[in-house]
Structure 1
């Protein structure tokens, strides 16, 4: 099996990209978004962000630039990620409605 075919199946290709980080810890919102620039992420890809703060004060909003390493998923990992996402989505369909009991 050639190295090119093996890497397409298993992935693992790494490269660095600039990344915009948006962190908010306020009464209205608690979120952290890392947006890699110049790359289209696919199912199963992983992003490691470098240089993040280890603490965000309550009530703070931060937006800054950093570097991120993107680790590409191979064909097998992408297929597994897509299949498991579909199976997990079906769990959202499972909901029960019970009739109100008469007084």
Structure 2
């Protein structure tokens, strides 16, 4: 983060990682255990060795995750710039109603 580590706190929690590498989907989902709310600017790092799931398979893993809480300045910056970064993900297409 560009604001350094002043006022940042880290928390280690267990998590479950579900990975799917199939024709229909390629994704990984992390679910943190406990009642921990992730807020704007927070960072989550899953600890341990890299996970590799061969093509055509699904797998579930249990690991520890480190959550680094954003300080007040980082949280405000994330809120202010988040909408701008979201706009980069959008794809716009304009076409006429005429037929070829």
Shorter chain as denominator, the TM-score bin is 0.7 to 0.9
Shift, 1:53, TM fit: 3.9
Any gaps of 5 or more consecutive residues in structure 2? none
Is 1:74 matched with 2:71? Answer: yes
Q: Where do 4+ consecutive residues of structure 1 move more than 3 Å? A: 89-92, 100-103
Question: In angstroms, what is the RMSD of aligned CA positions?
Answer: 2.4
Q: Which has the larger radius of gyration?
A: 1
Q: How many residues align?
A: 94
Pick from 84, 96, 100: which aligns with 1:99? Answer: 96
TM-score (structure 2 length as normaliser) = 0.77
| More helix as a share of residues | 1
Any gaps of 5 or more consecutive residues in structure 1? 1-8
Pick from 48, 58, 62: which aligns with 1:61? Answer: 58
C-alpha contact (below 8 Å) 1:10/1:77 kept by paired residues? no
